[in-house]
Amino acid sequence: MSRRRPWWLPGFVTRHVLFAMVFAGLCGIGVMVFLIEFDHYTSTEAFCTSCHSMELAAVPYRKSSHFVSASGVRASCGDCHVSPGIFAATWDHFIGGKDVIRQLIGADYDDPVVNALHLPEAAFSAREWFRARDSATCRRCHEQDAIVGERAGTQAIHQEDAKGKTCVDCHINLVHRKVPERATFKRDAWNRMVETEFDLEAGAADRLLDE
């Protein structure tokens, strides 16, 4: 028994080709679902803090207004540190893989001292990342035109003076341990602070950084 080929189907679409197309389509859907689910899972606090070094970054985060808010809105790691859009997000996760590699073969970031010593560079590159994207992840939740604020001038500042600026030009040190901007960062003062905080002898921080 033979079936009539529909008139609109091109001649090269044979039964096998049809099966292949359906299969490819399903695979495509599967890949997209995988990427979305992968992004969702790898953007969670639980996933990020499965590396101990990230747990150190999460401690101050859990005291911040991005974690604790009266309304219950909570930003997860990925909400801020992974770009919106599944392709950009996938790319960020791919690039973020270098953190995993460093975690495995780099300095001992699980050590709170080493972690604190390297934190400023991490903060500087995170700020550059935000700037390069015009603080896209901030704008997921914060609509600049809708910022009213509690004080009289806040709205006008965001309407008039913040034009041409991006969120992190003014708003830094909101979530993680405070670090100065790169231009005015004093490595020596930072190292002395870490030594005092962890009760190390003078110069220990510099030696640890050299290792």
Partner 1 sequence: MPSSKMGLFALLCLLVSGAGAAKVTLSPDNWGNPAGEECVSCHSKSSAGLTEQWRHSAHAKVGVNCLDCHQASTDDADAITHEGQTIATIVSPKDCGRCHAVEEQQQRGSVHAEAVAVIARRMPAMVTNLAGPAVEAAGCAQCHGSTVRVQANGELDPDTWPNSGIGRINPDRSRGSCSSCHGRHAFSKAQARKPEACVRCHSGPDSPDKEVFEASKHGMAFASHHDQMNLDAESWVAGKDYFAAPTCATCHMGAAGKLPATHDVGMRNVWNLNTPVSERQHLVVFADGGKREFPESMDAPKRGSKVPRLDGAEGDVKMVATPDRRRQAMSLVCRECHGKDFVEAFMRQFDGVVDLYNRKFGEPARAIMQALYSTGRLTPTPFDEPIEFAFWELWHDEGARARHGAAMMSPNHVWWEGMYVVARNFYGRFLPEVRAVAGDGADALIAKHVQDLPENEWLKHPERGSPLLGVGTARSAHE
- The CB-of-161 to partner 1 minimum distance in angstroms stands at 4
Q: For residue 54, give both structure tokens.
A: 């990230």
Residues with Cβ within 8 Å of 133's Cβ and at least 6 positions away in sequence, in order, are 83
Residues found in the chain: 211
Of 29, 153, 171, 202, the one binding partner 1 (CB under 8 A) is 153
Nearer to partner 1, 169 or 206 (CB): 169
Stretch that binds partner 1, among 22-30, 33-41, 97-105, 189-197 (CB under 8 A): 189-197
Does residue number 192 form part of the binding site for partner 1 (CB under 8 A)?
yes
Q: How far apart are CA 170 and CA 183, in angstroms?
A: 15
Does residue number 184 form part of the binding site for partner 1 (CB under 8 A)?
yes
Residues with Cβ within 8 Å of 36's Cβ and at least 6 positions away in sequence, in order, are 86
> Which string of x and - marks every residue 69-108 that binds partner 1 (by CB under 8 A)?
----------------------------------------
Q: Where are the alpha helices (DSSP H) in the chain?
A: 15-42, 45-48, 52-61, 77-81, 86-105, 112-132, 154-156, 167-170, 187-197, 204-210
Residues lying near partner 1 in the complex (CB under 8 A): 151-154, 156-157, 160-161, 165, 169-170, 173, 177-186, 189-190, 192-194
